[in-house]
Amino acid sequence: MSSLKKEGLSSKERLTLNKDFKRVFKEGKKIWVGRHLLIIYCPNQLGLRRLGLVVSGKIGKAVERNKVKRLLRELFRKNKELFPEGVDLIMIPHPNLKNLSYGELLELVRKNLSSGRNRNLNAEKTFA
């Protein structure tokens, strides 16, 4: 079991407090990944990447919302190098995201985060 634990998203890497969500919404910058995913990001003083998810009821019933959350957590967990350290991220999926496979979503995120117009997310590692 211990080998599975290492694969997970630790509690330190999760955005859980309401005040942290409010801070990111208030001070954060937005990036759209295609028309499928909105990422709002804001620096933190922890030196850690932290992920928060906001999944609307427009996605569907609880089963579908939970599936989308698992997909986004997996994307973050397996591709942390795409996101700078010391940043709190909130991902907000559009309802049509549930029609994408993991591979399609990963390709969209890679393409959009490395494109010139969104390079500022990775360039702002020193923006604190």
Q: What is the pLDDT of residues 67-124, one digit of tens each?
A: 999 999 999 999 988 898 999 999 999 999 988 999 999 999 999 887 655 555 555 4
At 120 the pLDDT is 53
End-to-end C-alpha distance for the chain, whole angstroms: 38
> CB–CB of 85/125 below 8 Å?
yes
Summarize the confidence of residues 28-41 as an average pLDDT: 93
Q: Count the neighbouring beta carbons within 10 Å of the beta carbon of residue 89.
A: 23
Q: Give the helix ranges, DSSP H, for the chain.
A: 2-7, 18-27, 62-78, 102-114, 120-123
For domain 11-116, the question of CATH label 3.10.580.10 is answered with no
Q: Which letter does DSSP use for residue 118 in this model?
A: G
Average pLDDT of the chain, as a whole number: 86
Query: Would you state the structure tokens that stand for residue 112, as one six-digit string?
Result: 């959009």
At 112 the pLDDT is 87
Query: What are the φ/ψ torsions at residue 43 (nearest 5 degrees)?
Result: -70, 150
> CB–CB of 31/38 below 8 Å?
yes
Give the confidence band of 42 by pLDDT, cuts at 50, 70, 90: very high
Q: Which letter does DSSP use for residue 85 in this model?
A: T
